[in-house]
Amino acid sequence: MEFLANIDREIFLLVNHGFTSGALDSAMTYVTEKFNFLGAIIVAALLILVLGKRKDRVGLLLLVVLVLLSDLAANLLKQVFMRVRPCNAIDGVRLLVGCGSSYSLPSGHATNIFAAMVFLTLRYKKFAPAFLAIAFAVSYSRVYVGVHYPFDVLSGALLGSLMAYGFSIGEKKFLPGRLKTLAAPEDEDKERGPFEA
C-alpha cells in the first residue's frame, strides 16, 4: 500500500512541478473553477427546456439529481478515507488555488464532472469527445493546481462514471413506459429533436 502511495505522490509531483508553464497555469486555474462553467450550463439548460423534447427535459432533471448525489457520495467517502490533501501534506507544492480544509479522496470535482459528462455522453453520443475532454481537463487540473493526488482524481472519475451508468440504466429500465403515458400530444411526433444523437 505504501508503494502505491509513493507512486501516487511521485506522479503528483511530476504533474504539479514538471509539466508546467505560465500559459498552463492560467488555463488550469480557469478550468478548475466550477463556477466558470455556470453560465454555459445555464444556457444549455435553457436550450434543453425550450427546444428539447420531453426526454431531454427529463434528462436535465436526472442530470441535476445525479450531480447532487455524486457530490454527496464524494463528501461521504472523504469522511471515510480522511486522506489529507497534498497541499496540506507535502512541502513545496505549487498551489495555484486555495487548498481547502476538506479531505482529498475522492476528488469531488472529478466525481461531479465525470458523473455529468458520462451521463450526457450516454444520451448524446455524437458529443462524446467534447464531453469527455471537459471531464479529463477538469480532473487533470485538480492535480496540476496542487489540491489532489492522481488517485483521488481517478477514484472520483470512476465513482462519477459508475453513478452515471447507474442513472442511465435506471432511466432506460424504469422511465420509458411512464414517459409514454405522460406524453403530451405534441410530443408524440416521430421527428428527431435537436439534441438527439
More confident residue, 112 or 176: 112
182 pLDDT tier (thresholds 50, 70, 90)? very low
Nearest CA to 160 among 124, 106, 122, 123? 106
Handedness of CA 185, 190, 191, 196 (dihedral sign): positive
CB contact at 8 A, 31 and 141: yes
- Indicate if the pLDDT at residue 180 is higher than 50: no
- Indicate if the pLDDT at residue 8 is higher than 80: yes
Residue boundaries of the structural domains of the chain: 8-180
- Indicate if the pLDDT at residue 148 is higher than 50: yes
Q: Please give the average per-residue pLDDT across 8-31, as a whole number.
A: 93
Average pLDDT, the chain: 84
Q: What is the pLDDT of residues 33-51, one digit of tens each?
A: 877 766 666 666 666 666 6
Q: Which three cell numbers stand for residue 26?
A: 492560467
- Indicate if the pLDDT at residue 14 is higher than 50: yes
Q: Which CATH architecture has domain 8-180?
A: Up-down Bundle (1.20)
pLDDT of residue 104: 95
Q: What is the pLDDT of residues 66-111, one digit of tens each?
A: 999 999 999 999 999 999 999 999 999 999 999 988 999 999 999 9
- Indicate if the pLDDT at residue 196 is higher than 60: no
CB contact at 8 A, 87 and 147: yes
pLDDT of residue 41: 67
Q: Residue 146 gets which letter from DSSP? A: T
- Indicate if the pLDDT at residue 183 is higher than 50: no
User: What percent of the chain is modeled with pLDDT above 90?
Assistant: 58
pLDDT of residue 10: 94
